[in-house]
Structure 1
């Protein structure tokens, strides 16, 4: 009678750890960027408002990774 194996084999290719995506550079991961508001005939800047980041389209992750 053969002896029984009591240890288990480790998998040859273990599952890789999930990689967290890098944050988008222009919006720093928030998905929003400040946009200057201009008014008047001479188009003078009066303030800023939040706008959608066109690099990541509001997702907050870097699309190039």
Structure 2
């Protein structure tokens, strides 16, 4: 009799980046910290993997 393999559960998504692995940060320049735009970078919570840390 053959046993059925149960599918492995998918890891939970990171709550900070919502599973994308990237977050947007505001870029500020000058002494008065004037906002000039946004820049994307990898999520420090999941280190860019998109999976929730254990």
- TM-score when scaled to structure 1? 0.71
- TM-score when scaled to structure 2? 0.83
Gaps of 5+ in 2: none
Q: RCO (CA 8 Å, sep 6+): is it higher in 1 or 2?
A: 2
- Larger radius of gyration between Structure 1 and Structure 2: 1
> What is the total number of aligned residue pairs between the two structures?
54
Q: Cα RMSD over matched residues? A: 1.6
Displacement after TM superposition at 1:17 (Å): 2.7
Corresponding residue of 1:52:
42
| Alpha-carbon distance in structure 2 between the residues aligned to 1:42 and 1:17 | 54
Equivalent position to 2:18, from 25, 28, 32: 28
Runs of 4+ in 1 over 6 A off after TM superposition: none
Gaps of 5+ in 1: 1-7
